[in-house]
Amino acid sequence: MNQAAKIINQAKKEGRKALLETEAKTIIAEYCIPVTKFKLAKSEKEAATYADQIGYPVVLKIVSPDIIHKSDAGGVLVNLKNAVDVANGYNKIIDSVKKYKTDAKIVGILVQEMAPQSTEVIVGAIKDPQFGQTVMFGLGGIFVELLKDVNFRVAPINVEDAKEMITQLKAFPLLNGYRNTPPADIDALVGILCAVSHLVMDQPEIKELDLNPVMAYPKGAKTVDARIILE
């Protein structure tokens, strides 16, 4: 059995519908979707060791089955530049999360590579009651939330479908090179969309998938946050 199926079965056995970021990223990496390097720390000392291994700057994030939106809980710290900041950050996140939700179960703190800032895109999937697995693409922030500038296609999709989902966005010029911003690697984004389509077709128990954000670079792309919800 592959990793994805194993992780999904284990979560179901434990009665969890929302996968942890570690689990979601392990699954998407198995489908060749690029993700930030990450390691799960269980103590501040371990966090500092992992940060040394990954290389600075790093990002720390809460891993808890009870926290879905990590930033809202004070569960994300970015741009930590040395081991002391990482050790302090470890405790700071745990304090914030406990204040936010007293009884939150804390699995650990995820130490991850900090992806350089770039144009943020969102790749998603949702199981529509009528059409089944459906893949989504949009640009991050206001483009999705305010302007609803997103495109959907029923899965499975092919390379041509994926290209259209990207190039037919109103905000596409932002990905195609704009003022000082170089063009994004559209083929890399097409690859991620096709891989997501493949994943949700393989794993029908995925009800929602959300890669938010994916950093789009002139060469390649990198998933910074991943969420998977099961049926």
Nearest approach, Cβ of residue 160 and ligand ADP (Å): 30
What b/e readout covers 161-177, taking b as 16+ CB neighbours within 10 angstroms? bbbebbeebebeebbee
**Binding flag, residue 78, ligand ADP (CB under 6 A):** yes
Which of residues 119 and 161 has its CB atom nearest to ligand ADP in the complex? 119
Residue type, 120: E
Long-range contacts of 15-20, Cβ-Cβ distance < 8 Å, separation of 24 or more? 16/65, 16/230, 17/207, 17/229, 17/230, 17/231, 18/65, 18/68, 18/227, 18/228, 18/229, 18/230, 19/227, 19/228, 19/229, 19/230, 20/63, 20/64, 20/65, 20/107
Which of residues 115 and 196 has its CB atom nearest to ligand ADP in the complex? 115
**Binding flag, residue 39, ligand ADP (CB under 6 A):** no
User: Which residue in 144, 213, 221, 223 binds ligand ADP (CB under 6 A)?
Assistant: 213
Q: Which option in ligand ADP, Mg ion, none does residue 73 bind, with CB closer than 5 to 8 A by kind?
A: none
Among 57-65, 103-111, 120-128, 205-213, the segment contacting Mg ion (CB under 5 A): 205-213
User: Which residue in 212, 214, 223, 226 binds Mg ion (CB under 5 A)?
Assistant: 212
Site string for ligand ADP, 154-193 (x = CB under 6 A): ----------------------------------------
**Binding flag, residue 76, ligand ADP (CB under 6 A):** yes
Q: Give whole-number Cα distances, 64 to 41, 113, 167, 181, in Å.
A: 13, 19, 37, 36
Rounded to 5°, angle at Cα 149 from 147 and 150: 140
Nearest approach, Cβ of residue 218 and Mg ion (Å): 23
Interface positions, 95-114, toward ligand ADP (CB under 6 A): 112-114
**Binding flag, residue 21, Mg ion (CB under 5 A):** no
Residues lying near ligand ADP in the complex (CB under 6 A) are found at 36, 59, 61, 69-71, 76, 78, 112-115, 213, 224-225
Interface residues toward Mg ion, by CB under 5 A: 212, 225
